[in-house]
Structure 1
Amino acid sequence: MENHRVTVELRHRTALDPEIRQDLLDVYADVRAPLLHLPNYRVAVFAERLDRHAVEPGFGLVLGYDGELPVGYAYGNTVEAGDRYWARMTERLPDGYTDTPALAVKEIGVRTPWRGTGTARRIHDALLAERAEDRVTLLVNPLAGDGKVQRLYEAWGYRAFNTQQPSPHSPRLTAMIRPTR
C-alpha cells in the first residue's frame, strides 16, 4: 500500500457541489459499511448531517483521490461560543473555554486499502493547514476499533477533555482537542 500514499491527491473545498457530495457519500458508505445498520450511521442520516454542516460557518473539506477514485475525506466547521457543539458537552466547560473559535472536525474517513499509509493524517493535516482557528476539536467513539481510533488521535496530539452524546441514537463520544498547528 505504500504507493497509495504517493498517489493520493488532496482537493480542498469550502462548498459542497453535487459531484463532491456524491464522492464523499460513496467513501462514507464504504468506510462505515459495518455500521450502516445502526440508525445514526445510515447514509441518509449522514447526508442530512453533511448538508447541514456544509452551510454552517467556516465549512472546509479535504478529499483524497487516487486517480479519480475518492479514497478519504475530512471536513469540519468553525465553532464559536454558544455553538451547540459546546452546549452538548456532558461536563460544564471552564469559564472562557469557548471564547476563541475552534475548528470542529466533524468527520474523517479513509477506505480500508489506504489505511495505515499515512493518508488519513495527510488529509487531516491538509484540512488544518488552511485554518485560522488556534484549536481543533473532534469527537471519537472510544470503542471504535477497540480504542485504536482514539489512540491514533492521541498520537496526533489530541487529548480528551470531555464527552458528549450528539443525538439519542449516537454512542457517548469522547471530545478531544489540540492546537491547530
Structure 2
Amino acid sequence: MSTGDIELRRFNDLAPARQALIDVYADVRAPLLHLPNYRVEVFAERLDRHAHEAGWEAVLGYDNGEAVGYAYANTLSADDRWWSRMIEPLPEGYTAVPTMAVKEIGVRTPWRGIGVARRIHDELLAWRSEERATLLVNPLAGDGKVERLYATWGYTVFNSQQPSPESPKLVAMIRPRTLQAL
C-alpha cells in the first residue's frame, strides 16, 4: 500500500462528511474512548460546533472507498478563544496574523506510518489563505512520538493550553502554512 493509492476529498460542508469523520475518529481513538473528553458523543458535539465556525474545512482520505483518515481546520479570528486559552501570555500582535487551527488529525492504524497523515494534512493546508497553521497535541501521545512527528512537519512549540477541565494539558505548536516561508 502507498499513499498514492489514497484518494483525498475536500469538504466545506459537514453533512456529506460527518458520519465518515465520526467513524474514523471512533476507530482512531478507540483506546481512549472511555475517557470523558474522547467519548464519541463529545467528539460529535465538538465537530458540529467546529463545522459552524469560520473557515471550516475537512480533508478525508479514502482507500478503495473506505475512509481511512482525516484532518479538519478552522480560521482563527484575533479574539478567538483558541488564543485566550493559552497558558502563557502571547506577544503583542501575535493573534493578528491570519492563522488556521488544525483541530483534528487521525488515521486508522493500518494506514499509519506510510505518510497518509502528512498527505491529508498537506492537502488541508494547500489551498488555505492563512499565513500560519497551529495545532494542539497531547505531549504524552505515543510517548511524545506525535509531537516529534509534527516537528518534522515544520511545527514548533509556542505555548500550551487545557481546552477543558476534562482534557489533558496540550502543547500548542505553530508553523507557516507553506514551508517555503520557513
The reply to whether TM is greater than 0.5 is: yes
The runs of 5 or more residues in structure 1 that have no matched partner are none
CA distance in 1, matches of 2:94, 2:4: 39
Q: Which runs of 4+ in 1 moved over 4 A?
A: none
What does the per-residue CA deviation read over 1:46-94, in whole Å, with 9 as the maximum and x for residues that have no partner?
0000000001000010000001100000001000111000000000000
CA distance in 1, matches of 2:137, 2:38: 14
- Partner of residue 33, structure 1: 30
- Partner of residue 179, structure 1: 176
CA distance in 1, matches of 2:2, 2:154: 24
CA distance in 2, matches of 1:6, 1:134: 27
- Partner of residue 13, structure 2: 15
For the pair 1:53 / 2:70, whether they are aligned, the reply is: no
How does 1:108-127 map onto structure 2 within 5 Å?
108-127=105-124
How far the C-alpha of 1:43 sits from its partner, in A, is: 0.2
CA distance in 2, matches of 1:41, 1:48: 11
2:104 alignment partner, SS class? strand
Output the TM-score relative to the length of structure 1: 0.97
CA distance in 2, matches of 1:149, 1:128: 19
The runs of 5 or more residues in structure 2 that have no matched partner are none
Output the TM-score relative to the length of structure 2: 0.96
Which of 139, 164, 170 is the matching residue for 1:142?
Answer: 139
How far the C-alpha of 1:101 sits from its partner, in A, is: 2.0
1:171 alignment partner, SS class? coil
Asked if the contact 1:78–1:102 (Cα under 8 Å) also holds between the matched residues in 2, the reply is yes
CA distance in 1, matches of 2:103, 2:9: 17
What does the per-residue CA deviation read over 1:89-137, in whole Å, with 9 as the maximum and x for residues that have no partner?
0000000000122010000000000001110000000000010000000
- Partner of residue 101, structure 2: 104
How far the C-alpha of 1:20 sits from its partner, in A, is: 1.4
1:98 alignment partner, SS class? helix
For the pair 1:91 / 2:88, whether they are aligned, the reply is: yes
Asked if the contact 1:140–1:173 (Cα under 8 Å) also holds between the matched residues in 2, the reply is yes
Q: How many residues are matched?
A: 178
Which of 162, 166, 174 is the matching residue for 2:163?
Answer: 166
CA distance in 1, matches of 2:164, 2:98: 23
RMSD: 0.7
Identity percentage of aligned residues: 69
Which of 4, 7, 19 is the matching residue for 1:6?
Answer: 4
1:105 alignment partner, SS class? strand
Alignment-mate amino acid for residue 23 of structure 1: A
